[in-house]
Structure 1
Amino acid sequence: MLRLRCKAKNGTHLMQGLTTLSCVHELKDKVAELTGIPCEVQKIMVGFPPSSLDLSNGDAYLRDFPIKSGDTLIVEEEKNKMTSHNVGDSKTSGIQVNDSSPVLARRVVPADNSCLFTSIFYVVEGGVYDPTCAPELRNLIAQIVANDPRSYSEAVLGKSNRDYCTWIRRDDTWGGAIEISILSKFYQCEICVVDTQTLRVDRFGEDVGYTKRVLLIYDGIHYDPLQKVIAGSDAPPQTIFSTNDDIILVQALELADEARKKRQFTDVQRFSLRCMVCQKGLVGQSEAREHAKETGHSNFGEV
């Protein structure tokens, strides 16, 4: 018997009645029952960082996939297969509107280890979604860091300048505060990150005097861009705002508070993990990173 948990935006659910001999369509039916996400638009991920499972063959057995008892399956709705939430070419979530007034909304991007880079590119380019932009931004950051070893020393980076440049170019690494700060300087704009768990706004480039502001929302492990859209309109989304517009920060906090009330965040300091290579128990993102650094193991599952 497989003891799995299904984690979606409407909460975490214990999945019962599945075994290694269950088929993919049985798994999808169970996920649909628990989350309300139709089978045809389910995106199911496992591991840490999460990686997508290819579940296109509904008759395949679960024993043929890297799923073990105790794993947490992360489930998302594949927005590119939906039309009911589309606003022009932009896919949004969490916003209900009844008029033609522009509202602030989350634009969901893939959870593919590069969500930060995809999100920043989207907002600074005025709503241009390019899933191939991450390698370019990773290389850009590496070049900036390599050219300024004094500012970007081991004390700042947590590793040598050379090791960091190699590390950030990898497509399985996650961006964070250092990378946001670098891109804020490069694009000459304030980047505001709203945290759905703490309702804190981190403003990168706040004291530099930039005139432009862009916004991201962060749930503990994933970044999405924020944009103003008009429901049912073909007008392009607005992603760049004035740094004098503090109302937009209030609206961003309201959106984050709505997500917090729905428990749409992950406490990365306290959530329990297990290394799926050596089965060692870990607590929080910091322990997982240290374990990966010491052992080279990179496949983690939430317990």
Structure 2
Amino acid sequence: MPIKIRYKAPSGGGTLDLDDTATVGQLFDALKEKTVSSDITIKYGWPPKALAADQVETSVVSLNLHRESLTVVPAETAAPAPAPAPAATAPAAPVPADLSFAPKDVKDRPVTIKMPTDTYLVLRVMPDDNSCMFTAIAGALRGTNTGLDGSSPDKLRRIVADHILAKPDVYTKVVLEKEPRDYCANMLRPDVWGGAIELGIISEVFGIEICVVNVKEGTIIKYGEDQHELRCVLVWSNIHYDRVAEIFDENQVEDDFDVTTWNCLESDHILKSAKDLCRKLKDEYHYFTDTSDFVVRCNQCGWIGQGENAVVMHSTKTGHIAIEEIPDS
């Protein structure tokens, strides 16, 4: 059964399809071909660690690499030698302001925005278990009068699969990029992410508009727009989905009394506040960036590195400050 691997490289991001029996050596070969580079380092996990030469025969699945967003950088031994360190009396080189990450943890306490209605919009953080999208929606649907039971990620996955198989003229191999039965078998696995196709189906089946706010861009995508009476709101941080809820006490931790659906015609203020919440997540929490995989380039010497510590070390050793993040393609 094929697996999809996501990666970020100096030339941008992309995906890679491998057989589930693929080895780390085959992963290296495929990424070298994709990135047109013969000398690379592949990093994964947090703290980020590099795949070692003695792992080439190890199964990609056994290392859970199909659940990771991999980072591809030039082989560390091939990196340009740093310039001599500045004299001891010289001041330390500043780290570029936009890369000085000191993120708060969204799990420390609820992240909220006060609304004009004297209530609060809160980010409900979902478990990082590859079912975050389904978990977020299942919680939003709780208590809605849909007549359907979508109370768990597993049930939502099954509903999606049944819907796809019931409409072979709509969900074709071209649309799904694989045979429908294979796609559904894959989607029923708890370690497979859901995406746009699943959001559209859940919106249709449950009769609810699903609004997804992108933390980094501040944009909103609406699934089932202008088709349903109720809406719910999710937050997308580039690698993870969370749920947005309305609460009456800013410090309310338990979600038993959360309001998670709103009338579409009367909730524009919810969408505005959701964008404000995402702006707070971006500016104060850097929630759109997973520091385990952001890749940066020094515009002064061409050095490429990964993560905050590498930026600080390079800037301190060389005095270079013209450093920028390499965006996804």
Shorter-normalised TM-score: what interval? Answer: 0.5 to 0.7
Decide which of 263, 266, 279 is 1:242's aligned counterpart. 263
Deviations 1:155-210 (A, max 9, x none): 111111111111101111000100000000011010000000111100000032x1
Max radius of gyration: which structure? 2
| Structure 1 residue matching 2:287: 3-state secondary structure | coil
Contact 2:113/2:273 (8 A) holds in 1: no
Contact 1:126/1:238 (8 A) holds in 2: no
Structure 2 residue aligned with 1:116? 133
Alignment of 1:215-254 (within 5 A): 215-231=233-249, 236-244=257-265, 245-254=267-276
> Is it true that 1:155 corresponds to 2:155 in the alignment?
no
Contact 1:104/1:229 (8 A) holds in 2: yes
Structure 1 residue aligned with 2:162? 143
Deviations 1:87-119 (A, max 9, x none): xxxxxx322769x93211110110100000000
Alignment of 1:43-192 (within 5 A): 49=67, 85=109, 93-95=110-112, 101-126=118-143, 133-192=152-211
Cα distance, 1:76–1:148 mapped onto 2, change above 3 Å: farther
The AA in structure 2 aligned to 1:113 is N
Decide which of 287, 306, 323 is 1:264's aligned counterpart. 287
Contact 1:195/1:218 (8 A) holds in 2: yes
| Structure 2 residue matching 1:217: 3-state secondary structure | strand
User: Within 1, Cα distance between the matches of 2:162 and 2:260?
Assistant: 27
The AA in structure 2 aligned to 1:223 is Y
Higher RCO (CA 8 Å, separation ≥ 6 residues):
2
Q: How many residues align?
A: 196
| Structure 2 residue matching 1:265: 3-state secondary structure | coil
| Structure 1 residue matching 2:277: 3-state secondary structure | helix
Identity %: 30
State the Cα distance separating 1:5 from its structure 2 match: 9.9
Q: Which runs of 4+ in 1 moved over 3 A?
A: 4-7, 75-79, 232-235
- State the TM-score, normalizing by the size of structure 1: 0.56
Deviations 1:230-272 (A, max 9, x none): 225687111111111211110010011111223211389x956
Contact 2:216/2:282 (8 A) holds in 1: yes
Deviations 1:5-32 (A, max 9, x none): 996xxxxx899xxxxxxxxxxxxxxxxx
- State the TM-score, normalizing by the size of structure 2: 0.52
> Any gaps of 5 or more consecutive residues in structure 2?
1-42, 50-63, 69-75, 77-102, 145-149, 296-329
> Any gaps of 5 or more consecutive residues in structure 1?
8-12, 16-45, 51-68, 70-74, 86-92, 273-303
Deviations 1:76-95 (A, max 9, x none): 9796xx8xx4xxxxxxx322
Contact 1:192/1:204 (8 A) holds in 2: yes
